[in-house]
């Protein structure tokens, strides 16, 4: 595995690879790698000639400075995991390398897509995501880039970014990878205390129970039911639950024929924020 920390050297190496017709599969990460990331990487390795992974904790997508400070980092451990899946190139830049300018002024308008759920509760988050992903795509020039569906709204934003910027690559969505008890795999899970981890699987359990109610209740009634379930459990603080259409992620009041619908949740368990989603239709 080759490791680069500068944009120049990374671009130079990958330009040569592309000249010889090699296809690049790219998995961008913020490190603290887990089986969810590795599943994406194995798929990217299988479907391309070169697997490129970035490890970069992107400061401009954190609207909470405390969250940025606490985000888990362990590059040496990450490198071992990358080698175990046959990663070819690791790009691990510093913030100064990615953002040489004093202030990042790029701004993207994703319309309604960024005003709901994560966009509503984490102002500026998706602009920070879009800025870094665009820069990474320009550096790596992948043929395919792989993203997990746990961050479903982020995935929708990135698909829109690629359309808006007319970038010549394919975005590959990958299913949520779960722990044996159903908890969606996330780097933030590392921060859960043992007592919190013991009840964390309730998030997915409540989502599964909500899906069973879809024939009897409207999306609005299901949202109330989910809120009650979380509000009656002192371990959790619900930030939002919303049933939305799968394309524009706008709230649904009634089920619509031929419209995919998912339920999205964000909850705090102690001081750790967990997100998850589940398909209704």
Instruction: List the catalytic residues.
Output: 37
CB within 8 Å of 182: residues ≥ 6 apart: 201, 204, 205, 208
- Other residues' Cβ atoms within 10 Å of the Cβ of residue 135: 18
> What does the DSSP assignment read for 256-268?
-TT--EEEEEEEE
Does residue 154 contact residue 249 with C-beta atoms inside 8 Å?
A: no
* Angstrom distance (rounded) from CA 41 to CA 91: 14
Does residue 255 contact residue 219 with C-beta atoms inside 8 Å?
A: yes
Phi then psi for residue 49, to 5 deg, are -85, -30
List, edge to edge, every strand of the sheet that includes 261-269. 236-245, 261-269, 272-279
């Amino acid at each position: 595995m080759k490791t680069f920390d500068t944009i120049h050297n990374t671009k130079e190496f990958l330009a040569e690879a592309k000249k010889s017709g090699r296809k690049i599969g790219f998995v961008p990460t913020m490190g603290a790698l887990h089986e969810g990331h590795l599943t994406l990487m194995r798929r990217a390795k299988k479907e391309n000639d070169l697997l490129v992974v970035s490890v970069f904790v992107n400061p401009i997508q954190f609207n909470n400075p405390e969250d940025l400070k606490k985000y888990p980092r362990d590059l040496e451990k990450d490198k071992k995991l990358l080698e175990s899946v046959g990663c070819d190139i690791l790009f691990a830049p510093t913030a100064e390398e990615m953002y040489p300018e004093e202030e990042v002024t790029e701004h993207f308008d994703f319309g309604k897509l960024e005003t709901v759920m994560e966009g509503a509760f984490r102002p500026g988050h998706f602009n920070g995501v879009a800025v870094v992903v665009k820069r990474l795509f320009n550096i790596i020039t992948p043929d395919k880039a792989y993203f997990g569906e746990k961050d479903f709204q982020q995935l929708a934003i990135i698909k829109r970014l690629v359309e808006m910027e007319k970038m010549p690559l394919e975005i590959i969505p990958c299913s949520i990878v779960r722990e044996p008890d159903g908890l969606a795999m996330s780097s933030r899970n590392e921060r859960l205390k043992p007592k919190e981890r013991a009840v964390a699987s309730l998030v997915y359990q409540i989502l599964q129970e909500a899906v069973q109610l879809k024939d009897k209740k409207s999306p609005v009634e299901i949202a109330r039911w989910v809120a009650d379930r979380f509000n009656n459990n002192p371990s959790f603080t619900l930030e939002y639950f919303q049933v939305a259409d799968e394309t524009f992620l706008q709230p649904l009041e009634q089920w619509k024929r031929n419209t995919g619908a998912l339920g999205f949740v964000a909850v705090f368990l102690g001081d750790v924020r967990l997100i998850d989603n589940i398909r209704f239709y």
